A and B are shown apart, each in its own frame.
Chain A
């Protein structure tokens, strides 16, 4: 008991900690003991406990204020006339946006951001807006609301869950299902593999180069940017695997947040595969409503008249696209480097893609390049990956100025990385570099199989010895090669900082 008390009072729980594993084991165990009606109550309790462990009473308080406002506001919307409806909508919306701005972007005061504020604010607002738009009636049961609004697996780094999809999981009685529990556990293990074996290892290279890019110039910078792309992907998607795995083990299906994004052949496709829930949230609640405003409708009509129907349709969307991507970039941290690196730069790429599409199509026809050939698809995927990386120079750098300096540094002609001394000067020794490359290869192969469908289904259809060996090897890889323990600080996910 004493150790448990110490855990509560002194620890900030992380998704990749032994404490979190014990926590979810306890939560899921009790969850299946509880009858169906009480499951939501138990989830609500677990949500509050997690928020307390992860962010302290301060986070519980601020989340509670925002959530209570949305809960009450949504009830007002559902049960009142038009004038009160607007109050029920705008008051909680403004309150939550203000909490987000004050604590997250800290323009006026240095105030600690409550745990998960960037994510749960969007979750709360999506609920409020959907109720306001009449997509569903506000829930009356506070447990039903809290179980959704503070769903603990999603608090760290998303996904930004929608109430309708979340609630659909409870339409039928949730029973312990062997397949869901084992698939959930398998997914959690895969998430740990990505985070502890790959992401944490690559982080050392990235930190070394980004921390001293004047000396590690030229190809070092390019290599580090590519490593950061994999680091960020395995970190974020690894977190998502853990989140979705925990949910699946509880019989709750959440929407995927990543769909093998490095297999995307265009910018548009990339952002339908990367951090999907964030993109769809901004599209559904910002961009599409914006497109329907009188101003934008008029602008679209103007573009159609000016540029023709086809081109005009595309141009008419561009302002909305730019606003969308500005906000997505801004959401990441309010700094220019985020606005550029994970925002406007990609909007520009998409716009350029649309502008160039007609003449590129003609060029391909003239030259005889078929867009559906294997090599062309590979070329497009590599191109898309490099465009993604170009944004990551900004995303990871300390500032926009640093990012621009790093771009300049890329052309210094330093090719020292190709030597044995060069590659091992980045903070990893030969054994660690080997593990990094082998595990990236494992990831690549796994995602190749994922193109055909669920890899867990494919493995489950293998013979018992083969699938046991695969999962045992994965667990052992995490156990032995995982970057955890004293000397490692694998305590947080990158997106947890947002």
Chain B
């Protein structure tokens, strides 16, 4: 009995230590980790639903496609897997890790910077997309290929190696976040409420101007992406989102036509879609990343394309999807409304209002000094039937007043004054 008691004590002691250490570890890990990846991918791992389409690519994709808009306007279920600085090799491994959890009907890859030979472009943001994925065989393979040295590999596989140093920043707020399931209600898309115009509309080379067939690591991984899709009965698709790219990037995008042709994969290069994007109103950063105005246009185009050219189904009346997705759409609407309400200036507000959820009554004082970009934004809203604009002498210190209402119910959402 004495020996038995001794063994029980030993086992209990070991278990107690492990439980205590594990508990403290989980709390400190969750409180100090980089939040970005978790708020972005939480829905992917935790929502009990299927995704007909998954989008892969870098931050251009992340900012450029809105799954919630695809749901609302087309009934397409999708997830935006694009991550900051995700190279093409990274996107390939993201697909490989993702299909372990959800297998889409269609996987769309944005082929930006396909002329690069780098396996990974910027290590500093890698935690933003890698950390959300659990430790699996696929993740170990991905880390082994994408990260050059042992320390970087260990850091990616065991990110607490990095996070623990954030103990000084753990406060009540951080502990609260550690236990919350808070995430973006956007199915992976990032909503960047900024507007910055290009200096001039870029000049585009002809569509047949490529890079003379020079093969790159980017091309290698485009092929691997397509092959992986086919091995898993997923329909691959390539796209290039519109960006104010320079000639080298345009040629790189055009070179992908060759690969798409060789592999019989549909490829849409949106920089040649005339009239799709306004380079003065639709970017956060002067021609790189799409803002909500630009992203809504591109998403609408993609939605129309997928509806006409693929087997996606409109699930809006399908009870299996509609409850969750409609519920999330409600949260999404509140989410973007809050962002809209916090618009820093009139131009940003007008950009955010390019959304068929809103109808706006805009009053402008005679002294409002609007430039051509402001006028483009106003014209965009009135042209789409999303606003009416009037000049008002009653405005004194306020130059522009925008009364935002719900397009469905007419209920007032907020009034913005600048």
Contacts and interface: CB of A to CB of B under 8 A. Distances in A.
A484 B154 CA distance: 13
B164 A482 contact: yes
Interface in A474-498: 475-476, 479-482, 484-488
A358 interface: no
Contacts of B160: 479
B149 A472 contact: no
Chain B interface, DSSP helix/strand/loop, else mixed: helix
Contact of B28 (A429, A469, A479): A479
Given A464-B12, A480-B164, A482-B164, A10 B150 contact: yes
Given A6-B150, A468-B13, A471-B17, A485 B162 contact: yes
A354 B162 CA distance: 53
B25 A479 contact: yes
B281 to A, nearest CB: 41
A464 B24 contact: no
A480 B163 CA distance: 9
A87 interface: no
Contacts of B9: 464
Interface string B7-26: 00110110011001100110
B189 to A, nearest CB: 30
B149 A464 contact: no
Q: Categorize the interface residue count of chain B.
A: 20 to 34
B399 interface: no
Contacts of B150: 3, 6-7, 10-11, 19
Contacts of B151: 486
A352 interface: no
Contacts of B102: none
A367 interface: no
Max count, chain A CB within 10 A of own CB: residue among B12, B154, B155, B160: B154
Contacts of B24: 472, 476, 479-480
A431 interface: yes
Given A3-B144, A18-B154, A484 B161 contact: yes
A2 interface: yes
Max count, chain A CB within 10 A of own CB: residue among B9, B17, B151: B17
B168 A487 contact: no
A484 B155 CA distance: 11
B16 A464 contact: yes
Nearest to A478: B164
B167 A480 contact: yes
Nearest to A487: B165
Interface in A1-17: 2-3, 6-7, 10-11
A3 B153 contact: yes
Contact of A429 (B153, B164, B168): B168
A168 interface: no
Given A431-B168, A480-B164, A482-B164, A475 B153 contact: no
Nearest to B7: A178
Interface string B159-175: 01110110110000000
A313 interface: no
A488 B155 CA distance: 13
B20 A486 contact: no
17 contacts: A3-B140, A3-B153, A10-B149, A18-B158, A18-B161, A19-B150, A464-B9, A464-B12, A464-B16, A472-B16, A475-B17, A475-B21, A479-B160, A480-B164, A481-B167, A484-B161, A485-B162
A-B residue pairs, 5 tightest by C-beta: A472-B20, A468-B16, A476-B24, A431-B168, A480-B167
